[in-house]
């Protein structure tokens, strides 16, 4: 009987985790991205972590996030290569404002994948660095969201916020459904035929004969 209840509890936990608001993709996904970065270029992803560095002005927000690593990753030995993965996040603000995000805050980001590179830290250890172009983020410390209001970014954000994205909703489907139509390009105007250049003519006066009046 205990096994049965444990099985039901496991199913419930799995169902709840699928509908988790602001759902992150797990570190196995990040590991796969690391191995095949070119295939993920431009894809919509979500990761979270602690703010280790921040620069901000009224137009740009740049964050250095250290990714969350669940305890069981360390318990299974999988976390050793992932515990120092860094995310470099850039968010271009649609309106001039300050986010209030501070070092040490816990932040989740919804972004498109930029570049992925390997660097050596101060101790000479090679680490992975993923660049993300964020269009939505949530500061879980101060319970505040920043997001774009244009399509399809706002629809992706709403799906992410409710826990549907990456579980019931596909980022590709939402992007295709809400992508703003591109205005048809007008045919280029026909070029007028070149007219022969107008030659400026001098006004020539005839010689005036001297008439002798008798």
125 and 142 in contact (C-beta within 8 Å)?
no
Confidence class of residue 123 from pLDDT cuts 50, 70 and 90? confident
Give Cβ neighbours of residue 56 (< 8 Å, ≥ 6 apart).
62, 98, 99, 101
How far is residue 156's CA from residue 160's CA, in Å, rounded to a whole number?
6
Measured in whole angstroms, the distance separating CA 195 from the mean position of its chain's CA atoms is 52
Confidence class of residue 209 from pLDDT cuts 50, 70 and 90? very low
Architecture (CATH level 2) of domain 20-178? Beta Barrel (2.40)
Q: What is the DSSP string of 63-104?
A: EEEEEP--HHHHHTT-GGGTTT-EEEEEEE-SSS------TT
pLDDT at 119: 82
pLDDT at 44: 96
pLDDT, tens digit, for every residue of 42-97? 999 999 999 999 999 999 999 999 887 766 666 676 655 555 578 999 999 999 98
66 and 53 in contact (C-beta within 8 Å)?
no
Confidence class of residue 202 from pLDDT cuts 50, 70 and 90? very low
Confidence class of residue 118 from pLDDT cuts 50, 70 and 90? confident
Region 169-185 average pLDDT: 81
How far is residue 163's CA from residue 10's CA, in Å, rounded to a whole number?
19
Neighbours of 43 (CB within 10 A): 12
pTM above 0.75, yes or no: no
Please state, for a pLDDT cut of 90, what percent of the chain lies above it: 49
Give the count of alpha carbons within 13 A of 39, CB side only: 8
pLDDT, tens digit, for every residue of 145-167? 999 999 999 999 999 999 999 99
pLDDT at 146: 96
pLDDT for residue 214 is more than 70? no
64 and 102 in contact (C-beta within 8 Å)?
no
């Amino acid at each position: 009987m205990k096994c049965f209840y444990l099985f039901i509890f496991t199913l419930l936990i799995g169902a709840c985790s699928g509908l988790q608001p602001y759902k992150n993709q797990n570190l196995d996904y990040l590991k796969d991205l690391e191995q095949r970065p070119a295939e993920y270029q431009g894809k919509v992803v979500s990761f979270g972590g602690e703010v280790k560095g921040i620069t901000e002005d009224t137009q740009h927000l740049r964050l250095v996030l250290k990714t969350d690593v669940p305890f069981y990753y360390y318990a299974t030995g999988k976390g050793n290569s992932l515990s120092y993965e860094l995310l470099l996040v850039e968010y271009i603000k649609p309106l001039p404002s300050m986010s209030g995000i501070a070092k040490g805050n816990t932040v989740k980001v919804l972004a498109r994948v930029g570049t992925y590179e390997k660097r050596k830290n101060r101790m000479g250890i090679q680490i992975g660095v993923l660049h993300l172009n964020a269009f939505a983020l949530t500061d879980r410390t101060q319970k505040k969201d920043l997001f774009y209001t244009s399509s399809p970014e706002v629809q992706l954000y709403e799906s992410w916020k409710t826990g549907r994205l990456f579980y019931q909703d596909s980022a590709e489907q939402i992007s295709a459904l809400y992508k703003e139509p591109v205005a048809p390009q007008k045919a280029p105007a026909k070029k007028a035929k070149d007219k022969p250049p107008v030659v400026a003519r001098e006004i020539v006066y005839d010689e005036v004969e001297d008439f002798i009046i008798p």
